[in-house]
Amino acid sequence: MKELDQLLLNYLQVRFEKADSAEREAFAACLELPDPQLASWLLGRSTPEEPALKLLMTHIKAATPAA
């Protein structure tokens, strides 16, 4: 999905370099998820149960420039 790619690219450009190893591991894990699951989390339809993934979704959303 193009929209997911853009969200993830924004995160990579804005935050990934500053992320600690746990956040980088969570990011790598989220890349293995099916697009519908990742979209559900990033669009707020559901929330990951794992705290590291939940925090990562917050950081990805925060890296998105305001429209």
Q: What is the CATH number of the domain that holds 58?
A: 1.10.150.250
Asked, for residue 67, whether it belongs to a domain, the answer is: no
Per the domain annotation, does 41 fall within a domain? yes
**In the chain, how many domains are there?**
1
**Structural domain boundaries enclosing 52:** 2-62
How would you classify residue 57: left for phi > 0, otherwise alpha for psi between -120 and 50, otherwise beta? alpha
Tell me, yes or no, whether 26 lies in a domain: yes
How many angstroms separate the CA atoms of 51 and 60, rounded?
14
Q: Per-residue pLDDT for the chain (67 aa), expressed as one digit of tens each?
A: 688 899 999 999 999 999 999 999 999 999 999 999 999 999 899 999 999 999 999 999 999 886 5
Question: CA 37, CA 48: separation in Å to the nearest integer?
Answer: 9
For residue 23, what are the CA distances in angstroms to 1, 26, 29? Answer: 23, 5, 10
In a domain, 54, yes or no: yes
